[in-house]
Amino acid sequence: MFTRRNLIRLLLLVACALLALGYVPEAWRPQSVLLPSLSPLLNLGGAAARHAAGAGVLLALPLLILPLFKGRAFCWRLCPMGFAAESVSRLNRRNAGLVRKVPFIGKGLALVMLGSAAAGYPVLLWTDPLCLFNGFFAAWRAPLAWASGATALGFVLILLTSLLAPNLWCHRLCPLGGLEEWLTQLGNRFRPARTPARPDAGIAGNVKVGRRVFLGFAAGGAAGLAYGKLKPGSARAAAFIRPPGAADQAFNALCSRCGNCMTACPYDLIVPDLGASGIDGLFTPVLKFRNQNSAQEQFCFQDCTACTHVCPSHALRPLKVAEKQQTAIGLARIDKKACIAWEKGEYCVVCQEFCPYQAIIESDHKKVKCPTVDEDKCRGCGACESQCPAQPIAIVVAGRNPQPRLAHPSPALLKE
């Protein structure tokens, strides 16, 4: 068991787990995007659906090219999820025959995922093994442990299938494995001499394979379109706040629930949603500002873009600081009845003091300055909500989905 090959796999697994957990030097933290970005399903699928391709899409190339020449070498030699599943499979040697009876569901899944992504509404992105692996470890770092535990479930389920039949996941269920299998077959077509003849290697076989691929894509496309048209639930756009850079459309579909953004947030503001964004938005990231007596920031700091750079499926677009400061993730609202200035006539306007965007206008009332929100300037960062001394809190941010780009320049940027 402890061969050199397995040692490399083990080291890789540990490294990926540490990255996903965020237990690495701070400068390396953004690299948590690397592992899930390797999956063409997440990376290219997300980019296709969002029409947003950065240099990050190049990370998907190795897993598109490698199988053409080396078959499923990634699955058997590198994949940390595969290694975990295989290790558990060693506990159970029974039911090996079952694997042969089960159809290769993963091959169909891969086609459906890519087809629906091409149609603009990717489905089942969250079944990607690299995202499930990542989500398991990220769950330990997310602020709401019990809810984020759901993202950890996929990893556990995969290990359970390994107890059902050895390597059932890798051989039959994994969509990334399925994609690798398709590409292996494609590679074999160009090198028929090096691989043993297969029953479907002839022309008739090629037609059959081609038809299957077409049908898979078409089914995915249809599912994607249907999903786009018949989106379940009718989530109130103001009820939840997305991290900055969130896709305007199909966010719930684009998000792979890998948990990277939740781990990346230095202020632990991003938590899994429990239904505010709709039933299809379960466990997608939402921001929760806090108003506690802790010496830690509890609002979306204007100079921070950490979460936007770790999303493998482009559900969150990478933002520069200037872009982030132009993006309104929400809008603050004042409850005058609870406000210390409006209601009690006391000197306060802590909201104005802390607002990085100078979005609190003052007006005189009861001889003290009273706050009003300037809707053209408010970015919904939550600085006001996190600092409001009133009990109950008198200023609360509501989400803005889609997130508007504000024309008003950010004063925080004027200094540059």
Partner 1 sequence: MSSVQRRSFLKTTASVAAVSALPAARLDAQEAAPAATVVVVHGKDIPKMLAAGIAKLGGWEAFIKPGNKVVLKPNVAWNSQPEQGGNTHPDLIKACVLAAEAQGAAAINIPENTCHPEKATFKASGVEEALKGTKARLYRPAKEDYQKVEIPRGKIVKSADVPKDVLACDCLINMPVAKSHSATTLTLSMKNWMGSVSNETRRSWHRDGLHQCIADFSTFIKPKLIIIDATRIMLTKGPQGPGDMAVPNELILSTDPVAADAYAATLFKKEPFDIGYIKIAQEMGVGCGDLKRIKIERVEV
Residues forming contacts to partner 1 in the complex (CB under 8 A) are 266-267, 293-295, 297, 301-304, 340, 346-350, 352-356, 358, 362, 369, 387, 389-391, 411-412, 414-415
CB of 3 or CB of 294, closer to partner 1: 294
Residue 132 or 307 having the CB closest to partner 1:
307
Q: How far is the CB of 292 from partner 1 (least distance, A)?
A: 8
Give me the least distance between CB of 323 and partner 1, in Å please. Answer: 18
Residue 188 vs 372, nearer CB to partner 1:
372
Question: Is residue 224 within 8 Å of 218, Cβ to Cβ?
Answer: no
Task: Tell me how far, at minimum, the Cβ of 27 lies from partner 1, in Å.
Answer: 13
Minimum distance from residue 299 beta carbon to partner 1 (Å): 10
* DSSP-derived secondary structure for 154-175: HHHHHHHHHHHSTTHIIIII-H
Of 147, 407, 88, residue with least CA distance to 273: 147
Query: Considering beta carbons, is residue 198 or 337 the nearer one to partner 1?
Result: 337
The minimum distance between CB 412 and partner 1, in angstroms, equals 8
CA dihedral 153, 154, 155, 156 (to 10 degrees): 50
Give least dist CB 296 to partner 1, A. 8
Strands 395-399 and 330-334: antiparallel
Nearer to partner 1, 280 or 346 (CB): 346
CA distance 318 to 311: 8
Q: Compare residues 92 and 358 and give the one whose CB is closer to partner 1.
A: 358
Please, are residues 181 and 200 in contact by the beta-carbon 8 Å criterion?
A: no
The residue (of 236 and 320) whose beta carbon lies closer to partner 1 is 320
d(CA 268, CA 370): 31
233 vs 409, which CB is nearer to partner 1?
A: 409
Do 154 and 136 form a contact (C-beta atoms < 8 A)? Answer: yes
Q: Is 8 helix (H, G, I), strand (E, B) or coil?
A: helix
121 with 133: CB under 8 angstroms? no
In terms of CB distance, is 112 or 304 closer to partner 1? 304
Run of H or E including 287: strand 285-287
Beta-strand pair 395-399/368-373 = unpaired
- In whole angstroms, the minimum distance from the beta carbon of 414 to partner 1 comes to 6
Say how many residues make up the chain.
416
CB of 294 to partner 1, least distance (A): 7
One DSSP character per residue, 328-392 reads: --EEEEE-TTT-IIIII--S--HHHHH-TT--EEEEEETTEEEEEE-TTT-----HHHHH--SSS
Q: Which residue, 323 or 346, is less far from partner 1 as judged by CB? A: 346
Least Å distance between CB 24 and partner 1?
17
To partner 1, the closest distance from the beta carbon of 120 in angstroms equals 38
Considering the complex, what minimum distance in angstroms separates the CB of residue 19 from partner 1? 21
- Nearest Cα to 289, choosing from 366, 399, 154? 399
Q: What Å distances lie between residue 177 and 63, 190, 294, CA to CA?
A: 10, 20, 46
The encoded tokens of residue 315 equal: 């559900």
Q: CB-wise, 280 or 335, nearer to partner 1?
A: 335
Is 398 strand, coil or helix? strand
CA 164 to each of CA 90, 92, 300, 404: distance values in angstroms, whole numbers, following the listed order: 12, 8, 45, 49
